[in-house]
Amino acid sequence: MKIGVLALQGAVAEHIRSIEAAGGQGVAVKRIEELQGLDGLIIPGGESTTIGKLMRKYGFIDAIREFSRQGKPIFGTCAGLIVLADRIDGQEDAHLQLMDMKVARNAFGRQRESFETDLAIKGIEEPVRAVFIRAPLIMEVSPNVDVLSTYNGEIVTARQGHLLASSYHPELTDDYRLHAYFLDMAKEAAAAKEQ
């Protein structure tokens, strides 16, 4: 499976490393033409306002919406989760608006700006190591969104069909199982296309 990592800003190399460790091929995506031939796309963490601006500037909003319409999996981590959301708390404009959920930015408070924890995730056997950095959380989801994990009662991992989102950075640890989970989503989507 060939997985692109949107390389406008943020943690790109780490995602490529994790995808390769999980048995896929990872490539950096800087131009919309590079979405061609991908089996899935990761939108990394960073700063969502900056990523959103650059996406608009380089035509990625329409291009990624089209990618999603084709049923190709997309995984947003941290700022990438914010970029996928339909609504952002306290902000007029959201970005891709692909996932039916409302998110809050920088939701874990100043004193807990960053922390690590082991998270139980639906569909993955043992808890997964997760790094939270000025992380967002998911405040509300529509019934078509599946909650895969919570932290202190707050939703931090969610899936809506071919779309996956995490509040935290799975790429900053040596635990590749969430990337392996995403690769499985890409394999399923590719197999469904062939039928």
Ligand X SMILES: NC(=O)CC[C@H](N)C(=O)O
> Which residues of this protein are in contact with ligand X, per CB under 6 A?
45-48, 78-79, 82, 105-106, 133-134
Minimum separation from the CB atom of position 15 to ligand X (A): 12
The catalytic residue positions are 78, 169, 171
82 known ligand binder: no
Minimum separation from the CB atom of position 193 to ligand X (A): 31
Minimum separation from the CB atom of position 69 to ligand X (A): 25
Shortest CA distance to 98 belongs to which of 46, 150, 43, 57? 43
Q: Quick one: 62 or 113, whose CB is closer to ligand X?
A: 113
149 known ligand binder: no
142 known ligand binder: no
Q: Quick one: 106 or 144, whose CB is closer to ligand X?
A: 106
194 phi, psi to nearest 5 deg: -70, -20
Whole-angstrom Cα distance, residue 7 to residue 146?
27
51 known ligand binder: no
Whole-angstrom Cα distance, residue 179 to residue 184?
9
Spell out a b/e string for 126-153, using b for 16 or more CB atoms within 10 Å of the CB, else e: eebbbbbbbbbbbbebeeebeebbebee
Q: Quick one: 79 or 158, whose CB is closer to ligand X?
A: 79
Q: What single letter denotes the amino acid at residue 66?
A: E
- Residue ranges for the known binding site for L-glutamine are 46-48, 105, 133-134
